[in-house]
A = this chain, B = another copy of it.
Amino acid sequence: MPKQELVVLGQTAAPAADGCCPELLTAPLAEDQAAELAKVFKALGDPVRLRLLSMIASGAGGEICVCDLTPAFDLSQPTISHHLKLLRQAGLIDCERRGTWVYYWLLPETTDRLAGILTRPGRPAPAAPRS
């Protein structure tokens, strides 16, 4: 059921491809790059999705079952499923069915990418949250 991500941000591991890392803070963003980036940020622009992503990223073993996600919200199960789908289409998470349950995990390449885009060149390292 995965295999439908939008493959945004061109996260193809190539160190410096052609249309490589969009530069948000140092050069004017091209129109198409802005459109792709906006999809990811829009996916993060909802409190429910942020909490979902947070729960997924901090889940034991790096993954979590939908059945553990749903009861944490005052929302119907289809609504949670919808938000998970949007996060998946943004390339932020992926999932796999294992028997009865579906497990989700974070795709760190995308968050790393965003962090890099939001980092000013002069900066040594943005203070990661103290674990």
Contacts and interface: CB of A to CB of B under 8 A. Distances in A.
Given A50-B29, A54-B28, A129 B112 contact: no
A53 B41 contact: no
Interface residues of A, number: 55
Give the most central of A21, A22, A38, A55: most B CB within 10 Å.
A38
A23 interface: yes
A5 to B, nearest CB: 18
Given A25-B111, A28-B54, A47-B31, A129 B117 contact: yes
A21 B127 CA distance: 9
A121 B42 CA distance: 24
Contacts of A24: 50, 53-54, 57, 129
A12 to B, nearest CB: 15
Nearest to A39: B45
Given A112-B126, A120-B128, A131-B26, A47 B38 contact: yes
19 contacts: A21-B127, A23-B58, A26-B129, A27-B129, A37-B50, A38-B44, A39-B45, A41-B42, A41-B44, A42-B42, A108-B120, A111-B118, A111-B119, A115-B115, A115-B119, A115-B123, A116-B127, A116-B129, A126-B126
